[in-house]
Amino acid sequence: MFQRLPEKASMILLLMILIFSGCSIVYISVVTTNALKEQAREDIGGFATFAASQINGDTIAAIGPGDERTPEFIAVQDTLIRMKMAFPDIKNAYILRLENGRVTFVVDDDYGFIQNAAPIGQQYYAPTTEMLDGFLWPMVEHEFVSDEWGTTLSGYSPIRNTKGDVVALVGVDVEKQAVINKQNIINWTSYMIVFLAILMAVFGVLGVEQVRSRLMKDLTDREIRFHALFEETYDAILIIIDGKYSDCNTSAEKLLGGAKDTIVGMSFLLLSPKVQPAGRSSDEMIDEKLTLALAGYHQRFEWRLHTLDGLEFDAEVSLIRIRIDGTIAVQAIIRDITERKKAEEALRLSEEKYRSLSEASPNAIYIINRDASISYANNYALRMLKKNMADVKGRLLMDVFPMEDAEMQIQIIIGVFQHGHDVRRDDRISMDGKERWLSSIYTPLKDDVGRVTAVLCASYDITERKAMENQIASSLREKEFLLKEIHHRVKNNLQVISSLLSMQADKATDRNVIDSLMDSQNRVKSIALVHEKLYQSKSLDKIEYGDYLNKFVMHLFDTFSVAPSQISCKVNAENIFVDINQAVPCSLIINEMLTNSLKYAFPGGRKGDIAINFITDGKNYILDYHDNGIGIPEGISFEHTESLGMKLIYGLTQQLNGTVVLKREEGTTFVVTFPRIQKPGE
């Protein structure tokens, strides 16, 4: 019996060790699992609170459906992605909005990267109580939540605008499997210890130390990541405990102009003037802000601070309640907005200047929104409409300025928004039962990225000018009618003279007299045709010369009874217009040339060709006349001739300030060049 006692004692001791070891493992597993879960909840809550402090609530409030490609949306999404990269356990980071009892997405960090990412405005259909409470204060889910994006443990923190109103919340998710994996480490360690219970008596301390070291390393890694975020952020971050700074980052040292050792221990009020720009004392305002922040209400406000050297600057301050090692503290995020304030003041002065210019303008100026409603009208426009701003603002442009073609007016506004170019037009409108004319220019107003945000329209009354234009047009039509009538009567009178010459030729018996009268008759006819063309033309100072030449050639062929089969005549003068002051002498020149060819160039019924080319090089008219007849004898020239025709050709060319060249190769060629009369504006 005494020999078995040690064995029983060993068995009892072994059993006690096994039981004690098993109980210890179970206890350690449960405690560690709960600790890991609570640690994860605390980490998630701290991360969500920190993320909310880094996001501008005014920017979030301005983001709406369809803004996924805007710079504001992309900047917020990049902020979420950078913070998520610093904490790899975070699976999702997003921003939600609560409107009319509906929870909708504003920014999903995965939007544009994965297929099922939520766009702006997509509703989240299964909000939990903790999520809804997260719109009021920082919250973390007590248990894992499952939805279409997986099973996660989530934390939330409200986002507030500059007025302190909640506009959204930041949500962060840790995947269930990530927490379970950490729990499995403990569980598998426990199983191994139970399986090796006997060895646990020897190596138990080493196993527990290994687990503790792993947890401490994980905690240290988390602290390193949070420290990196704390130190590397652009904004100054200070921790306030009991009204004094207990810690600050590098940006705070730069902003306040001192080392951390100097800043720590100082009061917020020591770096503030006694009175803020609003007129309230700094100590009264900061006590109020800190009290609200400690109560869990995020505070965002503008504040006047000064550096350690006493240099004052404007800052935007955000106060958020946080927990550090079980101690309630306030995290202050300070951003220097001195340059922004200067820019805002410069913008305000600029707006005042341009508003003054607008109000002093003698034109009606108004700004039109994308929906064609009026957002602004200057004093001149209001006086013209006999309305005040309240009667005009928000109303459609076509209702305020009823125009004949309202649809065209809408198309103009749409076109300016689309292509971004000025449009100028005149419109007839009805005001107070009277018809008036407005000349308007529609100009696009663009933002910093070149997007058209509104249309500025400047209009001025041209009713009197339109009346004068109508009166002038009426007077011009009347004068045009009188001038045409004059040309018609001149043509008729010349026709009478031509008829008288024809009658005189019929009574004459001398062949030379008859020929002279016929030549004179043809000269009169050439002048009469010019006036006939002017009477028929839309222009009263020039004629289309190609049509004129064709008619005149036909007249001379009829006069001399020449068949086209015997002598052909080709005229090239298309789209050539000649001033009346040059058309008459030029026509007389061509009459003499063509008369000479028909009478003398083709004797004895000889066949031949005549070519008349009348062109312009822009500055001069060039008449190239050619026949392939017998030619002009060598002894006849412009200087030595008894021919009236040759004298007329030379004299009329001189009258036109031109030159004439006679060529005798293969018939007769005349080249007449004279300057073209230039009209104003040509």
- Check which CATH number belongs to the domain holding 592 and give it: 3.30.565.10
- Specify whether 300 is located in the same domain as 396: no
- Specify whether 674 is located in the same domain as 575: yes
Number of independent structural domains in the chain: 5
- Specify whether 112 is located in the same domain as 146: yes
248 DSSP β-pair partners: 238
Please determine, for residue 482, whether its predicted confidence score (pLDDT) is greater than 80: no
- Specify whether 277 is located in the same domain as 193: no
Is residue 208, in this structure, part of any structural domain at all?
no
Q: 583, 639 in Cβ contact below 8 A?
A: no
Is residue 39, in this structure, part of any structural domain at all?
yes
Is residue 88, in this structure, part of any structural domain at all?
yes
pLDDT-derived band at 215, boundaries 50, 70, 90? low
On the CB side of 81, how many CA atoms lie within 13 Å of its CA? 13
- C-alpha 35/C-alpha 63 separation (Å) is 39
Residues 6+ apart with CB under 8 A from 394: 373, 374, 375
Residue-level pLDDT at 205 = 46
What's the whole-number mean pLDDT along residues 259-287? Answer: 86
The dihedral region occupied by 590, where left means phi > 0, alpha psi between -120 and 50, and beta the remainder, is alpha
- Specify whether 50 is located in the same domain as 176: yes
Virtual CA dihedral for 615, 618, 622, 623, nearest 10 degrees?
40
Residue type, 277: P
What's the whole-number mean pLDDT along residues 222-242? Answer: 73
Please determine, for residue 480, whether its predicted confidence score (pLDDT) is greater than 70: no
Please determine, for residue 85, whether its predicted confidence score (pLDDT) is greater than 90: no
- Specify whether 467 is located in the same domain as 457: no
Domain termination residue (choose one: 182, 198, 214): 198
- DSSP reduced 3-state for 97: strand
Domain span holding position 439:
345-461
Tell me the whole-structure pTM to 2 decimals: 0.33
pLDDT single digits (tens) 540-554 = 467 788 887 888 788
Q: In what order do the strands lie in the sheet with 452-461?
A: 374-377, 364-368, 452-461, 434-446, 423-431
Is residue 228, in this structure, part of any structural domain at all?
no
- Check which CATH number belongs to the domain holding 425 and give it: 3.30.450.20
Domain termination residue (choose one: 461, 493, 513): 461
What's the whole-number mean pLDDT along residues 442-466? Answer: 81
Is residue 218, in this structure, part of any structural domain at all?
no
Residues 6+ apart with CB under 8 A from 10: none
| Most confident by average pLDDT, 95-99, 467-471, 524-528 | 95-99
- Specify whether 633 is located in the same domain as 681: yes
- C-alpha 174/C-alpha 154 separation (Å) is 6
Domain termination residue (choose one: 537, 572, 596): 537
- Specify whether 449 is located in the same domain as 485: no
Is residue 224, in this structure, part of any structural domain at all?
no
- Specify whether 81 is located in the same domain as 194: yes
Is residue 559, in this structure, part of any structural domain at all?
yes
pLDDT single digits (tens) 593-615 = 888 888 888 888 888 999 999 99
The two three-digit tokens of residue 588, written as one number:
């007389």
pLDDT single digits (tens) 389-443 = 888 888 887 777 766 666 777 788 888 888 888 888 777 776 666 777 777 788 8
Better-predicted residue by pLDDT, 362 or 339: 339
- C-alpha 153/C-alpha 143 separation (Å) is 7
- C-alpha 472/C-alpha 466 separation (Å) is 10
Q: From 491, 441, 436, 489, select the one nearest 465 (Cα to Cα).
A: 436
Count of H-run helices and E-run strands, the chain? 19, 23
Is residue 207, in this structure, part of any structural domain at all?
no
Residue-level pLDDT at 460 = 74
- Specify whether 413 is located in the same domain as 474: no
Rg over alpha carbons for the chain, rounded to the nearest Å, is 51
- Specify whether 20 is located in the same domain as 106: yes
- Specify whether 287 is located in the same domain as 428: no
